[in-house]
Amino acid sequence: MNARNGALFVVSAPSGAGKTTLCKAITESMENLTHSISYTTRKPRPGELDSRDYYFIDEDRFRTMVAAGDFAEHAQVHGNRYGTSKRVLDDMVHDGIDVILDIDTQGARQIRAAYEGAVFIFIMPPSLAILEERLRNRKSDREEDIRNRLRRAIDEIREYELYDYIVVNRDFDRALSELRSIIAAERCRTKLLKSGWIEDMLK
């Protein structure tokens, strides 16, 4: 009963808003929800694993995949390229698995155009001052990188109206609870329940 297609959740946020931690916590705490693994030309950071965090590929292979139409969305961020495999995504949705796509606003616009019914969530920092503080506390970035990330953050926030839901990450537990509510609510959508069981019941 209730057999249905998987739901697609697109989660975007400016760097430093806490998106990665939130997405990790939500996929660990909810059943039947998985995180889509992106392809990237970026070099692995310390601790990152191929096929777990990303599929790390080179520029040539990325270009070949773009030309073959293998990507559901792809984007360039800070000089690196990122993309989501169309086949992997479609298989998961077809198998009824709910998927989180952790992508930027460029990619979100492509999914919006291609996947009717996808749900768009934007994670907001409570203020630009707090965002800057969080970026500075990472300490791994140079001053120039921090300024680049802040400029890009403002450009991303300007696009918040592309998104269905806004989760303000002031308090982590509250933001996680809101994210969980959005996913649980979307699973009750009438449009996802078109498996005919209600019609069968009325026969």
Contact footprint for a copy of itself (CB under 8 A): 2, 122, 124, 127-128, 154, 157-158, 160-161, 163-168, 177-178, 180-182, 184-186, 188-190, 193, 198, 201-202
Q: How far is Cα 73 from Cα 10, in angstroms, rounded to an integer? A: 11
Tokens, residue 66: 């773009």
Burial class (CB in 10 A: 0-12, 13-18, 19+), 151: exposed
Minimum distance from CB of 16 to a copy of itself (Å)? Answer: 14
Compare residues 37 and 193 and give the one whose CB is closer to a copy of itself.
193
- Does the CA dihedral 33-13-39-49 come out positive or negative? negative
Minimum distance from CB of 181 to a copy of itself (Å)? Answer: 4
Minimum distance from CB of 135 to a copy of itself (Å)? Answer: 16
Q: How far is CA 60 from the centre of its chain?
A: 25
Q: How far is Cα 126 from Cα 131, in angstroms, rounded to an integer? A: 8
Q: What is the DSSP letter of 44?
A: P
Compare residues 140 and 190 and give the one whose CB is closer to a copy of itself.
190
Minimum distance from CB of 104 to a copy of itself (Å)? Answer: 17
The answer to whether the CB of 14 falls within 8 A of the CB of 30 is no
The answer to whether the CB of 193 falls within 8 A of the CB of 2 is yes
Q: What is the DSSP letter of 30?
A: S
Residue 136's H or E segment, with its range, is helix 128-138
Compare residues 90 and 155 and give the one whose CB is closer to a copy of itself.
155
Minimum distance from CB of 58 to a copy of itself (Å)? Answer: 37
Compare residues 90 and 133 and give the one whose CB is closer to a copy of itself.
133
Compare residues 68 and 188 and give the one whose CB is closer to a copy of itself.
188
The answer to whether the CB of 172 falls within 8 A of the CB of 134 is no
Minimum distance from CB of 45 to a copy of itself (Å)? Answer: 29
Compare residues 92 and 157 and give the one whose CB is closer to a copy of itself.
157
